[in-house]
Chain A
Amino acid sequence: MKSKAIVLILIALSLTGILAVYSVDPSRGEGWGESLFSRQIIWNFAGWLVFLVFSQIDYHQWIKRGWLWYFLMVLSLGAVLILGEGDETGSHRWLFSQSVQPSEGAKIALALFLAHYFSGQRENFDFWPLLIKSGILSFIPFMLILKEPDLGSSLVLLVTWLGVLFVCGFSAKKWAVIGGIGGGLLPLSWFFLEDYQKDRLLSFINPEKDPLGSGYHILQSQIAIGAGGFTGQGWLSGTQSQLYFLPARHTDFIFASWCEQLGFLGGMLIIGLLGALSYLFLVVAARSPDLEGKILASILGISLLFQWTVNIGVNLGIMPVTGIALPFVSYGGSSLIVNLASAGIVYNISKSEGWENWKL
């Protein structure tokens, strides 16, 4: 039942993503493989192949090899820093002539590794050493991605780590300690941020300060969403997305483009689909018969939840711009494939249920 629901929601999200990319694709008149939306369709095929494969492989096979994924991840991220290719934003995120983004793969690799690492400690669950060790191990890919720089993806890794600590039952007292240390370190992190990231944070606090500069994204995105109203300005209309006032309208701000055209109703459709999917991830985690499945499904759920709520929060102007894409909907192959892969793993977990009586 849940497994079917996951597939149905994923299909709906895939289609939504293709339509959304199509609606803001300036090259949609061009040939197959040239236009953005046609590439999005191709990636969807690739992603669904990956989903099929992952959904059929027993998730224990992945978790068992946690260290392998970890090393592959650190290796590829290191390679990006050394060999990485820049993109138009000046970040170095790509490998193999801009075809692979290792930071996307890292999101799933770290989740697999942490699920392996934490479930392997069940016999001697000693919190403090676990916290510190897992912290250090997560910090390495986190810093490697932050250096690319890709704040969004590194935050996803951070949240994945915090998520595993949370679901593994760190007590409120320990959270207070972590929060205290984190809070103390937060101002220090200011010095690690790139200038443009600082600008984003400042302009989030006051977007009107520099409406054509770094506050531009936030304002234009809110204008697009607001101008959409309840039912939107109509498919393929709306000045913000069609006339390029909205930056990153096919990636990070695809939600705003979508809402300009289809309004509050259209936007609630995406929120509903992603909300339902995240909820299902949590349900699968709760009903998973073993700890590995629980940890893995729940941190994948947390990661998904974090990504889409932050993305939409940024679009709605209640969070600073972090550069996190909208899962399944934003244009981009690596992210789509990785997300479908995670969904495939969760699907596989959902097939092996226990805890039928669990209720939220």
Chain B
Amino acid sequence: MWDDEMQERVNQRITYLSRLFLVILLVLTLRFWYLSILRGDWYKQKSEQNRVRVLSLAPIRGSIYDRDNQVLAEDIPHFRLIFEKGVAETEEIEERVERILGRELSPPFPERGVGEIILADQLSLEEVIKIEEVQNKLPGVMVESYPVRHYPGGEPFAHVVGYVGKINAEELKLLYSEGYEMEDRIGKTGVELEYESFLRGEKGYRRIEVNALGKVVRVLDYRHPCFKNSIVLTLDQELQKYSYELLGNRNGAIIVGDPYTGELFALVSKPSFNPQLLSRGMSTEEWNALSQNQNRPLTNRPLQALYPPGSLFKLVIATGAVEEGLTDRNRKIFCPGFLDYNEWRYPCWRRGGHGSVGIEKAIAQSCNVTFYTLGLELGADRIVNWARKLGVGQPSGIDLPGEKTAFLPTQEWKERQLKEMWYPGDTINLSIGQGYLLVTPLEMYRVVSNIATRGEVYKPHVVKEILNSKGEVIKKINPVLQNKIELKDETWDTLIRGMEEVVNSGTGWACRGLPVKLAAKTGTAQNPQGEDHSWFAGFFPSFHPQVSFLVLIEHGGDGSGEAAQVAKKLVEWWEKERKVKSEK
């Protein structure tokens, strides 16, 4: 009886239990439905992310050649030994590799995101061969090649060619949309920077399926990194090196080029730096030592440094004066060795004076008094305008980064900035390229080149051709005629004859006795840092010029000295080594 009652109760409980069971079943099913049906796609994506890792492979950068296809920059494969963790015991593999290579490895090994560690870096070719011979005894080990930038041209080319480095945070932010990633290499200066989009190359990648242990299950997809374009410069490797050597231990700049095309054969800046070291990556101390060096080796002097032009600027005054009819071949100005203006006396560089000089002789002799006089007659505003007209004070558009332009002082500027009025003395200083005026060497090079072409202004450039991966020319950089300066023939003739006389009878005496007729101008720039800067710029042959050049030697004394001697050697070299070539 009691037993029956008890059994009834148990049965009742079992009934409750089965209802509870139905509820649990419903909850489980609903949750199951939610996960696999409602959120299925989301989880599918998650599982895909779990298993696929993409390892991008550094693109191979294009090479940079000089005009004769001599290598100035190229990627060279370096080798490192990668081990996929989990495939075998790391210690055991380490031991075997050490035995095979016959050298100690140095743990801890750097890890990479996909579960790989770098066992050894900078393997020699012999070592690579040793490893590959016994590859089957080294599960999970593979030799990986990666490109390293080499600069066989070295220091003479460092400013033009530039260097590469790891992308930094700001660059990455800017270029993220173009597929750059952390650790990518990017051009930092020079052609490496300016032509980055061509040189960069295409990334490769390895899409690999990994398991939860980080072990590579298989390679899903692979694309070789490749290079897209190479770049041929207009630079002449030998001339560039020779020019660099000619500067010796002086700081300065040399520019040599074709005035009729804008091609530059040499663009030298000294002191320089080793692009190899910069591309490899520098410690902060090394970098600071380089970037804070008082000689500023990182500055590309031809286009980034500003100097007073000194007497080179007299070409601008002469142009203005002749063109505006202030002077002609017949006007003579008497130089007693100084000019008295108001209560001040402004000296000519020759104490005894030049006597009575015409404009051509004034250019030849670089007579200050003549140019003081003409400068005062022109006035500061017109001087600045003429400078602009000849190519000073505006960017040349050269295909290199960081170009600076001249500082051309004006009355308005002086009153606003220095709170001082513009004195006639300022105009007098300006007339001989002193005072507040500052120019870049490239601008002065442009002035003489524009005289050489009698007013045809070509855009200067250092890149000649862009090649595709097969070495075919896909883009030729043609001369760009930027401007035609329309002057009277008389003006051009006067300037060129004056510049010829600089060499024949004037301050450029150091360049006498050359086999080619040279037109040039000396410059001696006083500067607050010390000894005068020495300028010498011109072109040759003076009739139908083929080459224009500029030499600047910081603290090289007067222009008739060091700069002219360097220029003479350059011209001699050209006549000997290149004249035949260019005539063919």
* A interface residues, Cβ below 8 angstroms from B: 122-123, 125, 166-169, 220, 222-230, 238-240, 243-247, 259-260, 263-264, 267-268, 271, 275, 278-279, 282, 285-286, 290-291, 294-295, 298, 301-302, 305, 309, 312-313, 316-318, 355, 358, 360
Is B174 in the interface zone, CB < 8 Å from A?
no
> Are the CB atoms of B44 and A227 closer together than 8 Å?
yes
Known A-B contacts A122-B6, A294-B11; the reply to A267 vs B32 at CB < 8 A is yes
> Are the CB atoms of A264 and B18 closer together than 8 Å?
no
> Are the CB atoms of A312 and B28 closer together than 8 Å?
yes
Interface segment among B47-55, B226-234, B335-343, B497-505: the answer is: B47-55
Q: List 27 A-B contacts (CB under 8 A).
A: A122-B2, A122-B6, A166-B17, A167-B17, A224-B43, A227-B40, A227-B44, A227-B46, A227-B47, A229-B37, A238-B47, A245-B50, A263-B36, A264-B32, A264-B37, A267-B32, A267-B36, A271-B25, A271-B32, A282-B17, A285-B10, A286-B15, A291-B3, A298-B10, A305-B21, A312-B32, A355-B7
Report the bound CA distance from A219 to B50 in whole Å. Answer: 11
> Are the CB atoms of B6 and A169 closer together than 8 Å?
yes
Is B209 in the interface zone, CB < 8 Å from A?
yes
Residue in chain A with minimal CB distance to B51: A239
Please name all residues of chain A whose beta carbon is closer than 8 Å to the beta carbon of B27 when the two chains form the complex: 318
Within residues 465 to 523 of chain B, which ones have a CB less than 8 A from any CB in chain A? none
> Are the CB atoms of A298 and B17 closer together than 8 Å?
yes
Please name all residues of chain A whose beta carbon is closer than 8 Å to the beta carbon of B2 when the two chains form the complex: 122-123
> Are the CB atoms of B18 and A245 closer together than 8 Å?
no
Residue in chain B with minimal CB distance to A247: B212
Report the bound CA distance from A245 to B52 in whole Å. Answer: 12
Please name all residues of chain B whose beta carbon is closer than 8 Å to the beta carbon of A245 when the two chains form the complex: 47, 50-51, 211-212
Please name all residues of chain A whose beta carbon is closer than 8 Å to the beta carbon of B28 when the two chains form the complex: 271, 309, 312-313, 316, 318
Return the contact of B36 from the options A228, A238, A279 (Cβ within 8 A): A228
- 6 tightest Cβ-Cβ pairs between the two chains A and B: A226-B43, A243-B211, A169-B9, A227-B47, A229-B40, A244-B212
Please name all residues of chain B whose beta carbon is closer than 8 Å to the beta carbon of A220 when the two chains form the complex: 50, 212
> Are the CB atoms of A243 and B46 closer together than 8 Å?
no
Please name all residues of chain A whose beta carbon is closer than 8 Å to the beta carbon of B21 when the two chains form the complex: 275, 278-279, 282, 305
Return the contact of B35 from the options A222, A238, A305 (Cβ within 8 A): A222
Known A-B contacts A122-B3, A168-B10, A243-B217; the reply to A226 vs B51 at CB < 8 A is no
The proximity string for B residues 1-38 relative to A, scoring 1 for CB distances below 8 Å and 0 otherwise, is 01100110111111101100100110111011101110
Please name all residues of chain B whose beta carbon is closer than 8 Å to the beta carbon of A295 when the two chains form the complex: 10
> Are the CB atoms of B43 and A279 closer together than 8 Å?
no
The proximity string for B residues 449-477 relative to A, scoring 1 for CB distances below 8 Å and 0 otherwise, is 00000000000000000000000000000
Please name all residues of chain B whose beta carbon is closer than 8 Å to the beta carbon of A223 when the two chains form the complex: 43, 46-47, 50
Is B210 in the interface zone, CB < 8 Å from A?
yes
Return the contact of A240 from the options B29, B32, B47 (Cβ within 8 A): B47
Known A-B contacts A291-B6, A317-B35; the reply to A243 vs B18 at CB < 8 A is no
Q: Which one of A239, A298, A309 has the greatest number of beta carbons of chain B within 10 Å?
A: A239
Report the bound CA distance from A358 to B10 in whole Å. Answer: 12
Q: Which one of B29, B36, B44 has the greatest number of beta carbons of chain A within 10 Å?
A: B36
Is B344 in the interface zone, CB < 8 Å from A?
no
Return the contact of B18 from the options A260, A271, A282, A355 (Cβ within 8 A): A282
The proximity string for B residues 307-320 relative to A, scoring 1 for CB distances below 8 Å and 0 otherwise, is 00000000000000
Return the contact of A167 from the options B10, B47, B217 (Cβ within 8 A): B10
CB distance from A264 to the nearest CB of B (A): 4
Report the bound CA distance from A317 to B27 in whole Å. Answer: 12
> Are the CB atoms of A243 and B212 closer together than 8 Å?
yes
Q: A230-B40, A286-B14, A294-B11 are in contact. List 15 more A-B contacts (CB 8 A).
A: A223-B46, A225-B43, A226-B43, A229-B40, A230-B37, A243-B50, A267-B32, A282-B14, A285-B14, A286-B11, A298-B17, A309-B28, A312-B28, A312-B32, A313-B31
Please name all residues of chain A whose beta carbon is closer than 8 Å to the beta carbon of B213 when the two chains form the complex: 244
CB distance from B1 to the nearest CB of A (A): 11
Report the bound CA distance from A183 to B63 in whole Å. Answer: 76
Within residues 24 to 82 of chain B, which ones have a CB less than 8 A from any CB in chain A? 24-25, 27-29, 31-33, 35-37, 39-44, 46-48, 50-51
Report the bound CA distance from A166 to B9 in whole Å. Answer: 10
Residue in chain A with minimal CB distance to B48: A239
Please name all residues of chain B whose beta carbon is closer than 8 Å to the beta carbon of A224 when the two chains form the complex: 43, 47
> Are the CB atoms of A355 and B50 closer together than 8 Å?
no
> Are the CB atoms of B11 and A243 closer together than 8 Å?
no
Please name all residues of chain B whose beta carbon is closer than 8 Å to the beta carbon of A313 when the two chains form the complex: 28, 31
CB distance from B395 to the nearest CB of A (A): 54
CB distance from B383 to the nearest CB of A (A): 73
Known A-B contacts A245-B50, A291-B3, A360-B18; the reply to A222 vs B43 at CB < 8 A is yes
Please name all residues of chain B whose beta carbon is closer than 8 Å to the beta carbon of A167 when the two chains form the complex: 10, 13-14, 17
Report the bound CA distance from A282 to B6 in whole Å. Answer: 16
Please name all residues of chain A whose beta carbon is closer than 8 Å to the beta carbon of B41 when the two chains form the complex: 229
Please name all residues of chain B whose beta carbon is closer than 8 Å to the beta carbon of A166 when the two chains form the complex: 13, 17
Residue in chain A with minimal CB distance to B21: A305
Residue in chain B with minimal CB distance to A243: B211
Report the bound CA distance from A243 to B343 in whole Å. Answer: 95
CB distance from A285 to the nearest CB of B (A): 6
Return the contact of B10 from the options A222, A226, A267, A291 (Cβ within 8 A): A291
CB distance from B30 to the nearest CB of A (A): 10
CB distance from A267 to the nearest CB of B (A): 6
Residue in chain B with minimal CB distance to A216: B212
Report the bound CA distance from A302 to B13 in whole Å. Answer: 12
> Are the CB atoms of B50 and A240 closer together than 8 Å?
yes
CB distance from B41 to the nearest CB of A (A): 8
CB distance from B44 to the nearest CB of A (A): 5
Please name all residues of chain A whose beta carbon is closer than 8 Å to the beta carbon of B42 when the two chains form the complex: 226
Please name all residues of chain B whose beta carbon is closer than 8 Å to the beta carbon of A358 when the two chains form the complex: 11
Report the bound CA distance from A294 to B212 in whole Å. Answer: 47
> Are the CB atoms of B29 and A268 closer together than 8 Å?
yes
> Are the CB atoms of B9 and A275 closer together than 8 Å?
no
Residue in chain A with minimal CB distance to B44: A227
Please name all residues of chain A whose beta carbon is closer than 8 Å to the beta carbon of B44 when the two chains form the complex: 226-227, 229
Please name all residues of chain A whose beta carbon is closer than 8 Å to the beta carbon of B6 when the two chains form the complex: 122, 125, 168-169, 291
Residue in chain B with minimal CB distance to A284: B14
Known A-B contacts A309-B28, A316-B31; the reply to A291 vs B36 at CB < 8 A is no
Report the bound CA distance from A106 to B47 in whole Å. Answer: 38
Please name all residues of chain A whose beta carbon is closer than 8 Å to the beta carbon of B15 when the two chains form the complex: 286, 360
> Are the CB atoms of B36 and A264 closer together than 8 Å?
yes
Report the bound CA distance from A225 to B42 in whole Å. Answer: 11
Residue in chain A with minimal CB distance to B16: A166
Residue in chain B with minimal CB distance to A354: B7
Report the bound CA distance from A271 to B48 in whole Å. Answer: 27
Please name all residues of chain A whose beta carbon is closer than 8 Å to the beta carbon of B217 when the two chains form the complex: 243
> Are the CB atoms of A259 and B36 closer together than 8 Å?
yes
> Are the CB atoms of A302 and B40 closer together than 8 Å?
no
> Are the CB atoms of B29 and A271 closer together than 8 Å?
yes
Return the contact of A279 from the options B18, B31, B48, B209 (Cβ within 8 A): B18
CB distance from B47 to the nearest CB of A (A): 4
> Are the CB atoms of A309 and B24 closer together than 8 Å?
yes
Residue in chain B with minimal CB distance to A169: B9
Residue in chain A with minimal CB distance to B8: A169
Please name all residues of chain A whose beta carbon is closer than 8 Å to the beta carbon of B40 when the two chains form the complex: 226-230
Please name all residues of chain B whose beta carbon is closer than 8 Å to the beta carbon of A312 when the two chains form the complex: 28, 32
Please name all residues of chain A whose beta carbon is closer than 8 Å to the beta carbon of B36 when the two chains form the complex: 225-226, 228-230, 259, 263-264, 267
Return the contact of A239 from the options B3, B39, B47 (Cβ within 8 A): B47
CB distance from A300 to the nearest CB of B (A): 12
Please name all residues of chain B whose beta carbon is closer than 8 Å to the beta carbon of A317 when the two chains form the complex: 31, 35
Please name all residues of chain B whose beta carbon is closer than 8 Å to the beta carbon of A239 when the two chains form the complex: 47-48, 50-51, 209
